[in-house]
Amino acid sequence: MKADVIDPSVQVPLAAAAIEAALVMRARFSIEVIERCDSTNSLLLERAQQGAPVGSVVVCEQQEAGRGRRGRAWISAPGDSLTFSLLWRFAPGVPALAGLSLAVGVALARALEDLGASDITLKWPNDILGAGAKLGGILIETFLSGGSHVVVIGVGLNMRRATDVIDQVDAPVGALDQVMTQLPSRNRVLAALLDSLAILFDEFAVSGFKPLRTAWQARNAHADKEVIILAEGMPAATGRCAGVDEEGALLLDTGSGRRRIVSGDVSLRSA
Ligand code: BTN
């Protein structure tokens, strides 16, 4: 893959042909590159409702209203970010979808590590960290159709730390180029992420999150740390992060016993 390693100052444009050429499981995806849109998740959700096939991928150079978890905005910079959404379906009877976002984090982390990234960790429920700073996020949206779960998985990754993003995001911003000695093109990164996701979905469809729990915990950014959980409308919860259970809920050891947390934002508790 050396030929595809780029000079960090050159922003290779996204191209469907280049993504397809780098994909191992090419037949499982249908790739569309678009110059701009509000949000690839919104676009693909609309298409999913109109019956778009499994494996449809929309990757966008410039999202103008990118969406994050819990109603937040996702800020990205053209050329320096990778923003895409992928459509998948899980048949009726698939194990609970609750752990899917954590499972997706494992697939993305594995792909980035295989590309040579170091110090990739996962922050519950689904942030991707590089050297401790957030470099990627996952937004999963689902609906039921004919008994199947239709799932749109949106991923935003910072390839480089763009000033626009740093200025608008109120938290440390990480990027892939900080944890890789040679940054591959976005086309190559996307192909690796999609291949890893296809493998993971096959496993998830049969066994759910359970067999992926160990892989998630091995990358848990907050393992055994004192943390605080903030969730809308709930009092803050503090305790020691004891990992996740087989459904992907966060386990928090508090002064009054173990608690199971199903939603919220986790951060390190300051001393
Ligand atoms: C988060 O960390 O809050 C999740 C961020 C998810 C961002 C991606 S970018 C591609 C896709 N389209 C969107 O509007 N959001 C997701």
List pLDDT tens digits, range 44-83.
999 999 999 999 999 999 999 999 998 999 999 999 999 9
For atom 16 of ligand 1, the residue with the nearest CA is 154
**128/42 Cα distance (integer angstroms):** 22
Q: Which of 32, 38, 41 to mutate to test the pocket of ligand 1 (most atoms within 8 A of CB)?
A: 41
Residues whose CB is less than 8 angstroms from the CB of residue 256 and which lie 6 or more positions away in sequence, other chains included: none
**Catalytic residue selected from 28, 69, 210, 259:** 69
pLDDT at 11: 75
Alpha helical stretches, state H, the chain: 16-22, 40-49, 100-114, 163-168, 186-207, 213-218
Whether 69 sits among the annotated catalytic residues: the reply is yes
pLDDT at 4: 59
CA angle 107, 20, 204 (to 5 degrees): 25
Whether 188 sits among the annotated catalytic residues: the reply is no
Q: How far is the CA of 173 from the centre of ligand 1 (A)?
A: 15
Query: Bridge-partner residues for 203, per DSSP?
Result: none
For atom 11 of ligand 1, the residue with the nearest CA is 154
Whether 72 sits among the annotated catalytic residues: the reply is no
With 0-12 / 13-18 / 19 or more C-beta atoms within 10 angstroms meaning exposed / middle / buried, residue 114 is exposed
pLDDT at 2: 45
Residue 136 Cβ contacting ligand 1 at under 6 Å: no
For residue 205, give both structure tokens.
């469809």
Give the confidence band of 6 by pLDDT, cuts at 50, 70, 90: low
**72/200 Cα distance (integer angstroms):** 27
CB-based contact 252:231 (threshold 8 Å):
no
pTM of the model: 0.94
Q: Which of 74, 168, 267 to mutate to test the pocket of ligand 1 (most atoms within 8 A of CB)?
A: 74
Residue 85 Cβ contacting ligand 1 at under 6 Å: yes
For residue 263, give both structure tokens.
């939603």
